[in-house]
Amino acid sequence: MKIEIENINIAKVINFLDGLSLKGLNSIHRTNFSRKLSEKLKVVVENEKQLIEEANGSPKKQKEWLEKFYKEKIVIDGGDSQTMLQSVKSVIKEITAEDSEHEFNGDNAYAVACLYEEFGLGEETNNKKGEEA
């Protein structure tokens, strides 16, 4: 399993994850995932500063570079992260289920949609519907 998140969305996803009230292993896995994202975010922030400096005050060049940069994605993949990713996936699946009472707005709605898509949860729903038909 591999998760890819656009640079522009990393902070939103971290804030969303940190705001979830979880217990036990789900809490530990969420925290570990959030830490991995935070490490990636530090690098993204450093690179963003470098791009701004190297644009030498050219707003056009800065805007062009940053737009491309924000669309680039960080990757967290398999290896020793499988259990963590599966755990976070199950939490996202649970809180986005039709019978869930969770409500999302603003950046949280965007973050949960990003994670929902990256974990392929929409594909699972579509596959099950196709199997039932």
List pLDDT tens digits, range 24-60. Answer: 999 999 999 999 999 999 999 999 999 999 998 889 9
Distance of CA 122 to the CA centre of its chain: 15
Alpha helices (H) in the chain, listed in sequence order: 10-19, 24-54, 59-71, 82-95, 106-118, 121-132
The domain spans of the chain are 2-119
User: Does 82 or 11 have the greater pLDDT score?
Assistant: 11
Asked whether residue 111 carries a pLDDT value surpassing 70, the answer given is: yes
The SS3 assignment for 75 reads strand
